Structure 1
């Protein structure tokens, strides 16, 4: 579980720092102003979802499946890259953002899997 908390903390800190620098009008490369938050979005949202699920579940080892993580990335992609650009001048559609949503979701899933792998290897060593 520590890996997920670490990923969440790093992503949240990077997001907050990025937003502060943007608000302070610091001259940043385009990746930071246009794409970094899309990469950080899924690990943050999925970590919060996992925390809530584990809070209400008796099974504290429950995991978010790859299908669920990618489904959430697909929903974010549809909403932010298809729906909002047609209904708001503030948003633009960008295929790179879709790739970054899925990259963030897969990164979360991989980190979560490393966490589960460490637990199972510790159980095998104890036996």
Structure 2
């Protein structure tokens, strides 16, 4: 019998990430000063685990199997997609976007965190 709500640690991390994301967006909205890494890289680090968790829930819903986990290739593909779109393509299309190798690193680290958290029992 499978757990009705598996991956509690991952889900806790994602909920905390979402709260941090909202706080960072609020700080930006109210023009509160803070370290550059918070405004430039933190949300990129948090994005992949949040989006991959939503994707994992989609797979669970489609397959009706909560034991499924995303493999490394799938997570790497998600990191590559975000890196290409947000760090290469969009900066060429609009001045509001900037390509930054550190954002790619943050996407990769976020993907690694997601991979580890979903594999934990």
TM-score (structure 1 length as normaliser): 0.88
Deviation at 1:58, TM superposition (A): 2.4
1:93 and 2:99 aligned:
yes
Over residues 82-105 of structure 1, what are the superposed CA-to-partner deviations in whole Å (9 max), with x where a residue is unaligned? 101111000011000000001001
1:69 and 2:75 aligned:
yes
Q: What's the secondary structure of 1:25's corresponding residue?
A: coil
Q: 5+ residue gaps in structure 2?
A: 1-6
More helix by share: 1
* Larger of the two Rg values belongs to structure: 1
Equivalence for 2:14? 8
Q: What's the secondary structure of 1:90's corresponding residue?
A: coil
RMSD between aligned residues: 0.8
Alignment length (residue pairs): 115
Q: Which runs of 4+ in 1 moved over 4 A?
A: none
Equivalence for 2:3? none
